[in-house]
Amino acid sequence: MLNVRRLLLLTEAAERGSLTAAAEAMGMTTSAASQQMSLLEREAGQPLIERLPRGIRTTPAGAALAERGRAVRRELRAAEADLESFADLDQGTLRLGSFPTASASLLPLALTRFSHRHPGVRTVVHAGVLDQLREMLHTGEVEQALLWDYEWNRVDDAALTLTHLLDDPTVLVVAADSPLRALPSLRLGDLAEQEWIIRADNHPVADVLRRSCRRAGFEPRIAYASHDYQEAQAMVAAGLGIALAPRLALTSRRSDVRLLPFGSDVPAPTRRILLARAASRAATPPAQAMARVLRDVAQKFTSAGLDRTQLGAVPRVPPRRT
């Protein structure tokens, strides 16, 4: 079996390009580091580094092993943080993962409440897209992460324990004076002739728009591809088109746009907002406390309802004359 400390020494040497620098980082002499590296190569049964006039270079086997060492180092650091957290609920560090929509809606309120209740716990938030957040959970870089999914891309991972926090419905974003606000019932099929503001093609909401429109029997006519929800709202307000968006993405709504909910019979997808942690690791006391806070905050957003007043609409106006 490979010696873990020697494996970490190889990882440091690979990253720093120097056995001397790696020895300093590991708190040992260069001579001791050289001896330990020789022992690791003996354990591995092959050379792992090439000694150069200035520094070292890993062999292909050494590079592969150093990459494994990075994962081991992440796990060890996560274990140390876990032990700190288990020692006392009100000390240590809680590492969280989140995606932009949650970071702009649920998370700020949750962090504020958590810090008031547990001021001794330091919280660190890592942002990422879905695949990045799952990888952070697997490697232990974060202890918990907020994730999302739709019916066609469910998070189905036996290595993760999932808690469903809330459902985030898709809403229609229109200009404040849009005649669409006068429709007695909003149906996607009625929007076939509209121009659409879409998120960039690699964004999940672009997929939501196309899937929704195709289920309603038409292809969306794209007028503009935006880079974020604020830009999308600005283009809608300017009259360039209408847009679909998750409700949580629009907690910072412009005053010159309105959000319209779809009827229950409309194929407009709802995404799930999930709290995830690695199933192989017991939740630390701070993580358990944060989970309770997030459930409470999620209930606040859920209980807001979907009536037009709470979505930011104003009383209906008659259609514009053309």
Residues 198 and 257 in one domain: yes
Three-state secondary-structure class, residue 271: strand
- CATH number of the structural domain spanning residue 65: 1.10.10.10
Question: What's the CATH number where 185 sits?
Answer: 3.40.190.10
Residue 284's pLDDT is 85
Together in a domain, 232 and 177: yes
Tokens representing residue 287 in the block: 């993580």
Q: Using alpha carbons only, what angle is made at residue 287 by residues 284 and 291, rounded to the nearest 5 degrees?
A: 140
Range of lowest pLDDT (18-32, 73-87, 194-208, 284-298) = 73-87
pLDDT(226) > 60? yes
If asked whether residues 181 and 240 sit together in one domain, one would say yes
Residue 321 confidence (pLDDT) above 60: no
Same domain, 296 and 231: no
pLDDT value of position 77: 80
CB 59 within 8 A of CB 48: yes
Concatenating the DSSP letter of every residue in 175-228 gives ETT-GGGG-SS--GGGGTTSEEEEE-TTSHHHHHHHHHHHHTT---EEEEEESS
Residues 144 and 197 reside in one and the same domain: no
When comparing pLDDT for 123 and 139, which is higher? 123
Q: What are phi and psi of 299, to 5 degrees?
A: -65, -35
Residue 311 lies in a domain: no
pLDDT for residue 283? 87
pLDDT recorded at residue 271: 93
265 and 176 within one domain: yes
Q: Are residues 13 and 69 in contact, defined by beta-carbon separation less than 8 angstroms? A: no
The pLDDT of residue 82 is: 67
Q: Could you say which of 60, 80, 100 is where a domain stops?
A: 80
Q: Is residue 54 assigned to a domain?
A: yes
261 pLDDT band (50/70/90 cuts)?
Answer: confident
pLDDT tens digits, residue range 20-74? 999 999 999 999 999 999 999 999 999 999 999 889 999 999 999 999 999 998 8
- Percent of the chain scoring above 70 in pLDDT: 89
* Range of weakest confidence among 114-123, 231-240, 308-317: 308-317
Domain total in the chain: 3
Query: What whole-number distance in Å separates Cα of residue 134 and Cα of residue 128?
Result: 9
Please tell me the predicted confidence (pLDDT) of residue 29.
94
The mean per-residue pLDDT over the stretch 175-189 comes to 87
Q: What is the mean pLDDT of the chain?
A: 87
**Whether residue 146 sits in one domain with residue 278:** yes
**β 122-127/160-175 pair status:** unpaired
127 and 161 belong to one structural domain: yes
Work out the average pLDDT over 266-294.
89
Length of the chain: 322
Contact 193, 240 (CB under 8 A): no
Of the pLDDT bands very low, low, confident and very high (cuts 50, 70, 90), residue 298 is: very high
pLDDT surpassing 60 at residue 263: yes
Local confidence band at 120 (pLDDT 50, 70, 90 cut-offs)? confident
- For residue 185, the model assigns a pLDDT of 79
Give 292-299's long-range contacts (Cβ < 8 A, gap of 24+): 293/110, 293/113, 293/114, 293/117, 294/106, 294/110, 294/146, 294/165, 295/163, 295/165, 296/113, 297/106, 297/109, 297/110, 297/113, 298/106, 298/165, 298/166, 298/273, 299/166
Asked whether residue 114 falls in the same domain as residue 152, the answer is yes
Lookup result for tokens 């897209």: 129
Task: Specify if 208 maps to a domain.
Answer: yes
Pair 74, 198 in one domain: no
Task: Please tell me the predicted confidence (pLDDT) of residue 75.
Answer: 84
pLDDT at 320 over 90: no
Q: Which two tokens stand for residue 319?
A: 């259609």
Domain that holds residue 245: 168-270
Coil/strand/helix, residue 19: helix
What CA–CA distances, in Å, run from 303 to 55, 296, 299?
A: 61, 11, 6
Residues 237 and 247 in one domain: yes
